[in-house]
C-alpha cells in the first residue's frame, strides 16, 4: 500500500514531526525519524544498532546533515529543531514523502531546490546493523550541483544521553574497496561510498530539541558529533541529467562496489517476497499487514530463539505483549517455526506458574511481574496448534500448562 505525504502535511516543523517512518532489521535495531527527516525524540535515529538482540541497543548515527549546493547557492535540506531556537527548516524544500512496501524502493523523499530535483531513498537489510542511502539528482539545466552529507554521530547506549567527552575517531581510507571507519566505545561503523570523503576537525553539532520527549517528561535536548563529510559531485560522472550516489553505514565491513546499493535492495525485496509467500495472503491490506508485522518479530540472543518486541522506539520484548501479539505476527502470517520458538522460549522460563515479563540480560534475573501473561500463554498455545495443525506439540507443552494452572489454583508469587 502506498502512504504519500505532500507539502500541506508539513507547513511547520511541528506539523512535520507528527508522522514517522520505521525500518527494522529483525535484531531490535532500527532506522526511524520523522517523515521530514528530523529527530523529535532522543531515541529516534538513522542507525540504532542491536549489540545483543533485541534490546541491548546502541545509538550510532542520529541523522545526516544535508547541504545541497546549486551554482554556489546553498540549500540546507535537513530539518531539526534546536535548543537555540534557530531551527533547520529543510522541509520547505521537501515536495513529497512516499512509503510503499510494494515498490522496489519503498521509502522515498523528493526535494526541489535551485531548479534541481533530489530524490533520496533509504533501506535497512534484515539481519544486519546496516543502513544505506541513495541520492539521485535530476539536473536538466546542467547546473553545478554538489551534495554535502555530514553524519551526526552519537555512539552511546540507547538509554543514555550523548557523552560530549567521548572520543569519536574517523579513519580515512584511500582504498574505496576497503572503506572508512568511525570508531568509539569499542564500536566500529564502516562507511562505504562512491563519493569523496573529507575528514574535518571534530566538533559538536549543537543541542537538538526533542519536542516529543519534553512532552513526555524525558530528556529534552541532545547533541551529536561531526568529524567528516561525504561529498557527491553530481556533474563528475558523465553528461546525463540524472546522477546517482550512495553510501552505506554498517557495523560489519561491506566492500564498496558500483552496485552495492542495488545488491542490498535486492536482499530487502527478496526477504519481503519470502514473507508474502509464507503468509499466502491475497488482499493488498493483508499483504501490508504481513510486512508491517515483521517489524516486531526479532531474534533473542540470550535464549537463541525468537521474540516479539512491544514497540519502537522505546519498548522491549515483554511476556504479556508477546502473547497478545503472537497470533497476528506469527500465526496468521504462516511463521509457525518462529511461533513455536517463542512458545518454547517462554515455556523454558516458567517459574511457579508465571512467565517472565522481562528476560534476563547478562547476569540479571528474569522479572516475573505479569499476572495475565501465563493465561494468555495458554490461549496462544491453543491458537498455535489450531493454526499450524501441530497437535504433536501437546506432549511437549501440556506439562507446562498444567504447572501454570496448578500454581494459579494454589497461589503464585
DSSP helix/strand/coil, 155: strand
The whole-number average pLDDT for the span 370-375 is 93
Say how far apart CA 81 and CA 85 lie, in whole Å.
7
**Residue 177 predicted with pLDDT over 80:** no
Say if residue 142's pLDDT is above 90.
no
- Outline where 280-310 has alpha helix (H): 284-293
Average pLDDT score over the chain:
94
Give the whole-angstrom CA distance, residue 196 versus residue 29.
28
Q: Which residue has the higher pLDDT, 361 or 119?
A: 119
221 φ, ψ to 5°? -135, 155
Radius of gyration of the chain (CA): 23
- State the pLDDT at residue 238: 45
pTM, two decimal places: 0.95
Contact status, residue 269 vs residue 261, Cβ threshold 8 Å: no
Nearest one of 61, 350, 364 to 187, comparing CA atoms: 61
Q: How far apart are CA 289 and CA 392, in angstroms?
A: 29
Low-confidence winner among 110-124, 135-149, 219-233 (lowest mean pLDDT): 135-149
d(CA 11, CA 198): 34
pLDDT confidence tier of residue 237, bands split at 50, 70 and 90: very low
297: part of which helix (H) or strand (E)?
strand 297-300
| Residue 89 to residue 70: CA distance in whole angstroms | 18
CA–CA gap between residue 283 and residue 265 (Å, rounded): 24
Mean pLDDT across the stretch 201-205?
97
pLDDT reported for residue 363: 59
**Predicted confidence (pLDDT) per residue in 98-131, tens digit:** 999 999 999 999 999 999 999 999 999 999 999 9
* Angle subtended at Cα 100 by Cα 95 and Cα 106, rounded to the nearest 5 degrees: 85
What are the pLDDT digits (tens) for 290-347?
999 999 999 998 888 899 999 999 888 889 999 999 999 999 999 999 999 999 989 9
Of the two residues 289 and 349, the one the predictor is more confident about is 289
> 31-54 pLDDT, tens per residue?
999 999 999 999 999 999 999 999
Q: How far is CA 406 from CA 353, 401, 402, 403, in A?
A: 8, 9, 6, 5
Residue 10's nearest CA partner among 1, 18, 20 is 18
Report the alpha-carbon distance of residue 21 to residue 100 in Å, rounded: 11
Burial of residue 11, with CB atoms counted within 10 A of its CB: 0-12 exposed, 13-18 middle, 19 or more buried? exposed
Amino acid at each position: 500500500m502506498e502512504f504519500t505525504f505532500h507539502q500541506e502535511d508539513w507547513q511547520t516543523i511541528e506539523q512535520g514531526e507528527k508522522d514517522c517512518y520505521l525500518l527494522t532489521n529483525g535484531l531490535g535495531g532500527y532506522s526511524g525519524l520523522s517523515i521530514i527527516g528530523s529527530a523529535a525524540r532522543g531515541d529516534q535515529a538513522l542507525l540504532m544498532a542491536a549489540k545483543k538482540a533485541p534490546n541491548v541497543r546502541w545509538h550510532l548515527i542520529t541523522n545526516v546533515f544535508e547541504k545541497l549546493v546549486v551554482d554556489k547557492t546553498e540549500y540546507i535540506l535537513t530539518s531539526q529543531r534546536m535548543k537555540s531556537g534557530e531551527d533547520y527548516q529543510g522541509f520547505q524544500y521537501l515536495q513529497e514523502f512516499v512509503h510503499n512496501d510494494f515498490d522496489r524502493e519503498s521509502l522515498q523523499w523528493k526535494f526541489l531546490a535551485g531548479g534541481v530535483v533530489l530524490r533520496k531513498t533509504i533501506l535497512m537489510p534484515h539481519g544486519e546493523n546496516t543502513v544505506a542511502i541513495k541520492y539521485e539528482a535530476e539536473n536538466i539545466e546542467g547546473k553545478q550541483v554538489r551534495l554535502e552529507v555530514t553524519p551526526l554521530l552519537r555512539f552511546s547506549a540507547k538509554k543514555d544521553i550523548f557523552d560530549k567527552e567521548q572520543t569519536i575517531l574517523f579513519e580515512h581510507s584511500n582504498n574505496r574497496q576497503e572503506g572508512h571507519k568511525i570508531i568509539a566505545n569499542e564500536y566500529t561503523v564502516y562507511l562505504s561510498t562512491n563519493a569523496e570523503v573529507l575528514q574535518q576537525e571534530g566538533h559538536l553539532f549543537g543541542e537538538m530539541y526533542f519536542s516529543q520527549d519534553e512532552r513526555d517528561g524525558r530528556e529534552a535536548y541532545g547533541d551529536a558529533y561531526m568529524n567528516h563529510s561525504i561529498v557527491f559531485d553530481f556533474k563528475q560522472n558523465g553528461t546525463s541529467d540524472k546522477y546517482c550516489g550512495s553510501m552505506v553505514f554498517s557495523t560489519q565491513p561491506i566492500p564498496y562496489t558500483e552496485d552495492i546499493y542495488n545488491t542490498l535492495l535486492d536482499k530487502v525485496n527478496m526477504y519481503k517476497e519470502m514473507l508474502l509467500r509464507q503468509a499466502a495472503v491475497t488482499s493488498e491490506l493483508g499483504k501490508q499487514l504481513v510486512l508491517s508485522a515483521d517489524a516486531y518479530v526479532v531474534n533473542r540472543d540470550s535464549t537463541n530463539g525468537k521474540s516479539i518486541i512491544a514497540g519502537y522506539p522505546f519498548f522491549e520484548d515483554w511476556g504479556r505483549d508477546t502473547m497478545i501479539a503472537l497470533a497476528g505476527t506469527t500465526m496468521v502470517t504462516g511463521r509457525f517455526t518462529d511461533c513455536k520458538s517463542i512458545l518454547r522460549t517462554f515455556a523454558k522460563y516458567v517459574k511457579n506458574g508465571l512467565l517472565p515479563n522481562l528476560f534476563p540480560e547478562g547476569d540479571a534475573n528474569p522479572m516475573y511481574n505479569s499476572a495475565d501473561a501465563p493465561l494468555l500463554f495458554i490461549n496462544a498455545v491453543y491458537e498455535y496448534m489450531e493454526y499450524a495443525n501441530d497437535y504433536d506439540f501437546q506432549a511437549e507443552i501440556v506439562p507446562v500448562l498444567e504447572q501454570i494452572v496448578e500454581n494459579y489454583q494454589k497461589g503464585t508469587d
